[in-house]
Amino acid sequence: MIRGNVKKQAILNVVEENPGVGFLDVHKITGFGHGVISHHLAMLEKEGFVRINRGKQKIWIFGSHLDPNEDNIRIALRKETCKKILVYLLNFNRADFNQLQKAIDKSSGTTSITLKKLIEHQVIKVIHGFPKKYTLEDFEKTSHILEMMDVSYSDKLKDRFADTFSYF
């Protein structure tokens, strides 16, 4: 518990309840101005309460107690298309491209880009053969994180839109 600053504590609560939350999400949830959030996040990071994962177009904020090796899984589970792939692989262990494309109901281009990013960020891996198949890098870790995450309906809608434009 942080003493003496209600806004800083409110921001920390949002981060703790939503691992991998983005800056704009903190703004929407708290209603605080961008400058207020930026200031308090910088302080929380400096004090060791949060860790910020900076991507090309977005930042994701995590509680400092969470394992940074799990960030990519948490980020992927916040994106609708990635999450569908991961859930499918949790249920079926491995799948080829066509099975995944059919399961997520996306174009081959979207499926290909999403798989490429998940491989690049070491969330899934390729099993070479004919046809090549995909599986999770760490089944247990992915399963555990999925169970722990509780993405709200508004996050799902927002992330569906963001999923169209950004990857990691």
The fold of the 1-65 domain, in CATH, is: Arc Repressor Mutant, subunit A (1.10.10)
Per-residue confidence (pLDDT) for residue 56, from 0 to 100:
83
- pTM, entire model: 0.78
Distance CA 80, CA 158 (A): 10
Dump pLDDT digits (tens) for 82-99. 999 999 999 999 999 999
User: Band of the pLDDT at 150, cuts 50, 70, 90?
Assistant: low
- Residue ranges, comma separated, of all CATH 1.10.10.10 domains in the chain are 1-65, 73-144
**Distance between CA 70 and CA 127 in Å, rounded?**
22
Residue 122 backbone phi and psi in degrees, to 5: 55, 40
Other CB atoms within a 10 A radius of the CB of residue 42 amount to 12
CATH assignment of 73-144? 1.10.10.10
Q: Judge contact between 121 and 45, C-beta under 8 A.
A: no
DSSP state of 6: H
